[in-house]
Amino acid sequence: MLAARDLTAELARRPVLHGITLDCAPGTLTAIVGPNGSGKTTLLRALTGDLRYGGSARLNGVEIARAGAATLAHLRGVLAQATSLSFPFTVLEVVRLGLTNGGGDARAMAALAEVGLHGHAGRVVQELSGGEQARVHLARVLSQVWEPVTPQGPRWLFLDEPVAALDIGQQLTVMRLARRYADQGGGVVAVMHDLNLSSMFADRVALMQDGRLLAHGTPAQVLTDIHLSRAYGCALRVNTVPQVGGPWLVPQSVGA
């Protein structure tokens, strides 16, 4: 279980998170959504131990702020919004960086296949498109926590805008990967901007506004006209696609 209680955080001495209480269970995919500046990435950084926080945040019963780097590296993999490289590493070399728990090149190649980059192992990362580079780093993170469940318990993927630079087909590849990881018993927490993808793939949605949790529950409970219009400050209308059965969102050009 990932359990945050009264979580607070600051950036440049400015309060950003205000008393967040949130539970995320292994075996589920939780999407953190909300407008720009609402605190989504700050929350993710606090939950992964990359940012000092007040209150409590426990991952599999371990207080994240007091866990050592090796413990956290075993428990969770983190895909940041952007990662830059200063040297001309090949794709395979970058993915190998995630092999903290063994597995060798076979695991690294399997991770590349999972993100649709099996034939790119020998290419220099900087020669790839932005979307391809993003998937290389996802493969690196995936190779770090390859087994969703170990004898020590479930493992976690934390993804910050994992589909931001991807085309529609690649977005579906990444979201299906995250869905499979959760279905196999791991935990997935993803910062998302695409509300329709969140509705399609997430079990739970956490809606942020001004550093606070405005709503948390199933997509149908959270992605409503009232909640979304309040959070985003514009008229949003939620409809249902009969073939899918989940909510989908259409911005309104005029007031509802």
> Does domain 2-251 bear CATH number 3.20.20.70?
no
Neighbour tally for 201: CB within 10 Å: 23
Worst-scoring range by mean pLDDT, 109-118, 152-161, 244-253? 244-253
pLDDT category, 21, cuts 50, 70, 90?
A: very high
> Alpha-carbon distance 154 to 128, whole Å?
33
Q: State residue 201's pLDDT score.
A: 95
177-207 pLDDT, tens digit per residue, is 999 999 999 999 999 999 999 999 999 999 9
Q: State residue 87's pLDDT score.
A: 83
pLDDT at 251 over 90: no
32-42 pLDDT, tens digit per residue, is 999 999 999 99
50-103 pLDDT, tens digit per residue, is 999 999 999 999 999 999 999 999 999 999 987 777 788 899 999 999 987 666
pLDDT at 11 over 70: yes
102-143 pLDDT, tens digit per residue, is 668 899 999 999 999 988 999 999 999 988 999 999 999 999
Buried b (16+ CB within 10 A) or exposed e, 134-152: bbbbbbbbbbbbbebeeee
Worst-scoring range by mean pLDDT, 61-70, 76-85, 233-242, 247-256? 247-256
Q: State residue 253's pLDDT score.
A: 59
CA 101 to chain centre: 21
Amino acid at 197: L
Q: State residue 256's pLDDT score.
A: 46
Q: Pick from 49, 13, 46, 12: which is nearest to 32 by CA?
A: 46
> Alpha-carbon distance 166 to 70, whole Å?
31
Boundaries of every domain in the chain: 2-251
- At residue 16, φ and ψ (nearest 5 deg) are -120, -40
> Alpha-carbon distance 254 to 225, whole Å?
14
For residue 56, the cross-strand partners are: 5
Q: State residue 180's pLDDT score.
A: 96
pTM > 0.85: yes or no:
yes
Rg, the chain, Cα only: 18
